[in-house]
Structure 1
């Protein structure tokens, strides 16, 4: 996410949050005035509104002023996930040293530690060094013993989102996106993919560049924003990350995906080799090839996942983004690539 211009704090930060922010700032000796909040809207968030808050320092020469993040939950987006479960995961990640600390909660959001690191950009995902760091971090993330039941969330979530989308979509939208066919498509994918997974684990499920931060000095990677996190097939998490390599949410048309940028076989193998080597052992060529094929098939699940998300978001989210246009961008490759990836005999229910 990137900073935009300063905004009027009275208009965007809830009163309850301002009280907590001022109390928090009053505990820091280097703050001139706890009431003097500088508020900056961060661009790139498509589920919540995120603001950077900072205060003037008593030491003007001090380069690093006190900063925190305020996350205001998007209205209507609780249809996508269990907010209480998301907070539990956030707190777990914080205790594991995997993400920012929780500094406070208010009715419509929370206050988070500001991480002194750079949010990645779209081109960063294609940088070989950064990509290898992400691959190793994903492996570390996937083996965390996350709280909650060890039940794969993907298939039930897809069916639940489909039901919500059907309830919200107009007749024209339902026809346009072929919603009446998707229940069987989800069953088809689960039948073809779920029984062949190499492993399951703690998955982020939304590793777009805006949810990845890097410390420029230590080169350490941090994953942030766990709204969609849960126990899942790790191949889905990786496939979803590959799909995000074709997106750039900071253009004039952020909903448009350039599939010419999808990583080629060599790039995918390099990423997956690093991922497997990060476990501390040398994978066989057969193991690598199996993961390459499995991940590629899970791109289909990623397209359905975010396609349905786009339809629902169009009806419940007020953030300025062409959600329906984005949904079309995700469904199109699903239909065009399904037979190729599943094989003609496996691409239909019997």
Structure 2
């Protein structure tokens, strides 16, 4: 499976953005097994902190408190509180990459993006890297749930923040990555062999010839929409959005998939994430909910002045590109089913996302083609 895949070496890019006390933070080649229970993991975390932070290297272990913040289906997040005697408490976040995620995530691209995104005021500040993760400042905020994203006030905030995010400038190529990434996933997903015989039997029922043809057809239609290319988050699910209600601050976190991409894709993918990992697509936003979001994205300060033509353009883009989101994450699920040790039904996730693609295809293709035809006749 690893043939042709270059494994990212974090230490080749260690000299990146630094915190105010940059000279006291150093990259580390230590690694921490994310599958360990917290009591077994804690001594390793303390060793890492003392290795990376010069000011902490002689502190007693009692000065540190390590807690699990969350364990998603890709990463594990730890909160480390450090309080030397007679000093202010400092808090950092340690993000442990999931095992084998280098096969699906370009860590070099992620690090490049993180440096500039955080400099623009989004998310946590990047502090440094180690063997299988990164260290960031701590955000005192609550992670959203899929149902939170539906709340009108929060939806408006997310839309405004996303408009700001899309204006971030990242050095390098501005080529949209959607179809490059889809084809990369397709190539990897189409040659898998699972150790579990039942999984392999289920996998063999998948027609990759059909998926190939669907990608070609969908790309052709999406290209006709000429959706603008912006810098996109590409993974704006509820778990990557945090809010501090007291300070009224909203944060986008985790830029593992961030890249230049199509505006319609980033919005359409966000709408698809209303369904959550349970894939309850009855929660996909209806036209009124989408219009509410899009008004606050298009004109954050005067949402009710958005013209109907602009609403239609964004609505068509989002719903057409949401089909690409289903294919992208369906293929991702197949690869994760082979590579990830995390307890999650990734294979089932493929079928749920691909089934929703086929269920929505006719309606959304008709919507896009009608819109394109109307634009030609104007």
TM over 0.5: yes
Q: Does 1:227 align with 2:250?
A: no
Judged with a 3 Å threshold, the aligned counterparts in structure 2 of structure 1 residues 12 and 246 are, in CA distance, closer, same or farther, namely: farther
Q: Does 1:20 align with 2:51?
A: yes
Q: Return the alpha-carbon distance in structure 1 between the equivalents of residues 209 and 42 of structure 2.
A: 42
Judged with a 3 Å threshold, the aligned counterparts in structure 2 of structure 1 residues 279 and 144 are, in CA distance, closer, same or farther, namely: farther
Residues 121-144 of structure 1 show CA distances to partners (whole Å, capped at 9, x for unaligned) of: 222101111110000000111111
Judged with a 3 Å threshold, the aligned counterparts in structure 2 of structure 1 residues 198 and 162 are, in CA distance, closer, same or farther, namely: closer
Residues 257 and 329 in structure 1, CA contact (< 8 A), matched pair in contact too: yes
- Name 1:40's counterpart in structure 2: 67
Q: Return the alpha-carbon distance in structure 2 between the equivalents of residues 96 and 189 of structure 1.
A: 34
Q: Return the alpha-carbon distance in structure 2 between the equivalents of residues 11 and 337 of structure 1.
A: 46
Q: Return the alpha-carbon distance in structure 2 between the equivalents of residues 315 and 308 of structure 1.
A: 11
- Name 1:161's counterpart in structure 2: 185
Q: Return the alpha-carbon distance in structure 2 between the equivalents of residues 196 and 72 of structure 1.
A: 38
- Name 1:265's counterpart in structure 2: 287
Q: Return the alpha-carbon distance in structure 2 between the equivalents of residues 70 and 339 of structure 1.
A: 44
3-state SS of paired residue (1:54): strand
Judged with a 3 Å threshold, the aligned counterparts in structure 2 of structure 1 residues 169 and 186 are, in CA distance, closer, same or farther, namely: farther
Q: Does 1:187 align with 2:211?
A: no
- Say what the alpha-carbon RMSD is for the aligned residues: 2.6
Q: Return the alpha-carbon distance in structure 1 between the equivalents of residues 142 and 267 of structure 2.
A: 22
Aligned counterpart in structure 1 of residue 168 of structure 2, from 127, 130, 144:
144
- Name 2:329's counterpart in structure 1: 306
- Name 1:332's counterpart in structure 2: 355
Unaligned runs of 5+ in 2: 1-36, 195-199, 370-378
Residues 244 and 250 in structure 2, CA contact (< 8 A), matched pair in contact too: yes
Aligned counterpart in structure 1 of residue 297 of structure 2, from 270, 275, 285:
275
Residues 46 and 64 in structure 2, CA contact (< 8 A), matched pair in contact too: no
Q: Does 1:243 align with 2:272?
A: yes
Aligned counterpart in structure 1 of residue 98 of structure 2, from 74, 87, 91:
74
Aligned counterpart in structure 1 of residue 343 of structure 2, from 320, 330, 337:
320
Q: Does 1:286 align with 2:316?
A: no
Shift of 1:256: 2.1
Judged with a 3 Å threshold, the aligned counterparts in structure 2 of structure 1 residues 53 and 339 are, in CA distance, closer, same or farther, namely: same
Q: What does 1:165-180 correspond to in 2, within 5 Å? A: 165-170=189-194, 172-180=201-209
Residues 220-255 of structure 1 show CA distances to partners (whole Å, capped at 9, x for unaligned) of: 2111000000000111111111111111xxxxxxx4
- Name 2:81's counterpart in structure 1: 54
3-state SS of paired residue (1:103): strand
3-state SS of paired residue (2:314): helix
Q: Name which of structure 1's ranges 175-184 and 136-145 shifts more when overlaid on structure 2.
A: 175-184
Judged with a 3 Å threshold, the aligned counterparts in structure 2 of structure 1 residues 173 and 161 are, in CA distance, closer, same or farther, namely: farther
Q: Return the alpha-carbon distance in structure 2 between the equivalents of residues 325 and 151 of structure 1.
A: 32
Residues 75 and 96 in structure 2, CA contact (< 8 A), matched pair in contact too: yes
Aligned counterpart in structure 1 of residue 137 of structure 2, from 107, 113, 120:
113
Judged with a 3 Å threshold, the aligned counterparts in structure 2 of structure 1 residues 181 and 174 are, in CA distance, closer, same or farther, namely: farther
Shift of 1:95: 1.3
Q: Does 1:134 align with 2:158?
A: yes
- Name 1:252's counterpart in structure 2: none
Number of residue equivalences: 327
TM-score (norm 1): 0.85
Q: Name which of structure 1's ranges 281-290 and 97-106 shifts more when overlaid on structure 2.
A: 281-290
Residues 313-341 of structure 1 show CA distances to partners (whole Å, capped at 9, x for unaligned) of: 11111122111121121111111211221
Q: What does 1:193-232 correspond to in 2, within 5 Å? A: 193-232=222-261
